[in-house]
Each structure stands twice: as C-alpha cells, then as structure tokens.
C-alpha cells in the first residue's frame, strides 16, 4: 500500500497534513539500529543539489517520549506519560582515530550553563552523507543515510519487513531552505516513517524508525538552529510537553481574537475557580503571568509568534493556542 505524505508550508509552520498513525505502537527503549543498504539502482532528480548536514553545533532537538502505562486497578484505563528531551552538540573528541561530535542532553529544564548539560553519546557524519552514532563503550551504528535513492532497501534488526525508499521530495522548512524528505514503505505496515535531511526522522535524532518500537512512541517536536525555529510539529503545538499537571485543550472558555495584537480577551472565566493565568511560549516557558480574575491579557510587549494561554483551575489546566501578530 503506497503512502504519500503531504506538507503545507506557511509563514510560521510546517504542517504534515496527512499521514496514518496507530497507537500505542512504539517503545521507550532505544533499539540498536545496525543496518545495511542495498541499492536498487533507482535515480531521482531534484531542483538543487545543496546538502544540509545533520551533525552540527548550534542545533537543538526537542523530542517527545510517550510511555504507555498499563491500567492500575481499579481503573480500567491505561494512559501515556510524557517527557521532552532536548539534545545538542558541543565540541568534538577523537575515539580510535575517528573524530566525533559530542552529543549532550540537559539535566534540568531551561539549561543555561555548561554544567546543566550531560554527555550521552557521540555522532559523526561522513562525506557520503551517512550519519553514525556511537554510545558509550559501544560500536558505532549507522542511523541515517541521506544518499539513498528511490527504490533502495534498508534491512535491519528491528525492520520486518524491510524498509524501502518509496519517495524523495523537497520541502521548504521554516528557515526558507529546501530539504529532502525521504518517505518509506514497509511492505504493508501502516506506520509512517520519514526522514528530513539535516534534521533526522519524524521520531527525533536518535530514532530513525520509531514505527518498529512497541509500548510507547517518540516524536520530534521542534528543531532550532542558533535559536531560529526550523521545524515545528503542529500536531503537538509545543516544543515542550510534560505530564506534570493535567492539560485540557478544549473550548469551554472563549479566548479571542486569534491572531491577537496588544490585548487578548477571555470570556466565561467567571464560571471557573481560577488559580492563575499564564502566557507560555512553545518551549513551555512562562513568559508572563496575569491576575487570576482578569478578563484582559496585555500582550503589547510580547513579540510575534505562537503561544499558549494556560488557565490553571482547582480541577485542571485549560490550555489554548494563540498566535500573536504585532
């Protein structure tokens, strides 16, 4: 069954407008991906030949890890818990005569100082557009091969049936640059997998094929390069998602206008037992807090972008996306 991934690009976001997903379908365990490439000899032509490397300093990946929790009696329902992991390269090192970039993850939210980051593994990218990953005291593994052509097959430990490069297209990211999109067919599997040149997979930096995992799932939320947003996963509407607190995304109150400028109005807030009102950016950071009984939010000093109004009540957190356009 052929799957085609459609993308809609606007001035501020990249939207995957259609794809098939089944949950729960993935796992919190990162598998070993040792795989080999068999070329089918297919050729494809593209509008330009500019290559965007993946392993570079200045990039920060934000990856969602959703873990499936089985029901706890007497509750009959299972549930997901969510955490968000950031990853970035800082410096390099030589291991066995091979130079690797050092991959770090923060040990605290909103890291500021070097000691806020912890070394987790090593990565390199060779002249053949292959990306290699080496964990501590382990042999290196091939994560991505951006030299693949349509029809090439990837056979690996966790890939049954083998993955086939079904289509390669170009898409414009949020920085205005075109990158290759590699779409894969798995011989009938309904799980979608795709790679983005210079970014990784739809499941993040270290998970080239998340559809082969069980018990949870990973999703790439955002990629920033030198603080510029390059990729934004609109499905999750944020670059940071956590299970701390219960967030309800609904319309039980009216927040308008959207897009907004200078003032945001809140209707029907008087029927809620409000504790606090916050404006949050796509990183999950609180940008501004307001009086709990206000119905007008001053945003005149907030720069344009995507934000969330979070209203914390005695029972839940109500979150609604808002676009500020100054």
List the beta strands (DSSP E) in 173-304: 178-185, 194-196, 200-201, 216-225, 228-232, 247-248, 254-261, 263-267, 274-281, 286-290, 296-298
* Whole-model pTM over 0.75: no
Q: Is 114 helix (H, G, I), strand (E, B) or coil?
A: helix
What domains can you pick out in the chain, each with its CATH number? 6-232 (no CATH), 247-324 (2.60.40.3080)
The phi, psi pair for 179, rounded to 5°, reads -135, 150
Residue 214's pLDDT is: 58
- Which candidate, 308, 2, 44, places its Cα nearest to that of 181? 44
CA distance 210 to 204: 9
Q: What is the mean pLDDT of residues 161-183?
A: 88
Cis ω on the peptide bond leading into residue 24 (within 30° of 0)?
yes
Distance CA 203, CA 231 (A): 13
Mean pLDDT of 123-150: 92
pLDDT (tens digit per residue) in 34-76: 344 333 333 344 456 789 999 999 999 999 988 877 666 555 6
- Model pLDDT, residue 319: 79
Residue with tokens 């806020």: 116
Cα–Cα nearest to 30, from 221, 236, 214, 220: 214
Mean pLDDT of 269-283: 84
Dihedral of alpha carbons 247, 250, 256, 259, sign:
positive
- Are the beta carbons of 207 and 32 closer than 8 angstroms? no
């Amino acid at each position: 069954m052929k799957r085609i991934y459609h993308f809609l690009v606007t001035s501020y976001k990249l939207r995957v407008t259609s794809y098939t997903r089944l949950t729960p379908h993935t796992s919190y365990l990162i598998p070993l991906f040792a795989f080999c490439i068999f070329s089918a000899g297919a050729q494809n032509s593209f509008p330009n030949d500019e290559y965007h490397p993946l392993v570079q300093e200045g990039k920060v990946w934000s990856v969602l890890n959703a873990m499936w929790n089985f029901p706890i009696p007497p509750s009959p329902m299972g549930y997901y818990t969510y955490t968000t992991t950031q990853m970035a390269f800082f410096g390099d090192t030589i291991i066995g005569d091979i130079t690797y970039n050092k991959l770090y993850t923060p040990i605290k939210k909103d890291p500021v100082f070097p000691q806020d980051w912890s070394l987790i593994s090593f990565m390199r990218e060779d002249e053949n557009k292959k990306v290699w990953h080496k964990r501590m005291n382990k042999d290196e593994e091939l994560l991505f091969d951006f030299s693949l052509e349509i029809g090439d097959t990837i056979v690996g430990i966790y890939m049954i049936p083998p993955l086939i490069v079904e289509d390669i297209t170009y898409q414009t990211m949020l920085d205005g640059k075109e990158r290759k999109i590699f779409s894969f067919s798995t011989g009938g599997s309904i799980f979608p997998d795709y790679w983005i040149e210079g970014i990784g997979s739809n499941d993040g930096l270290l998970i080239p094929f998340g559809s082969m995992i069980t018990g949870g799932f990973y999703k790439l939320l955002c990629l920033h390069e030198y603080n510029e947003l390059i990729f934004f996963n609109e499905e999750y509407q944020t670059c940071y998602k956590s299970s701390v607190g219960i967030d309800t995304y609904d319309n039980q109150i009216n927040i308008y206008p959207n897009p907004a400028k200078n003032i945001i109005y809140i209707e029907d807030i008087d029927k809620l037992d409000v504790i606090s009102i916050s404006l949050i950016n796509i990183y999950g950071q609180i940008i501004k807090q307001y009086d709990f009984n206000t119905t007008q939010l001053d945003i005149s000093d907030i720069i344009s972008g995507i934000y969330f109004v979070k209203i914390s009540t005695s029972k839940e957190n109500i979150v609604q996306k808002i676009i500020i356009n100054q």
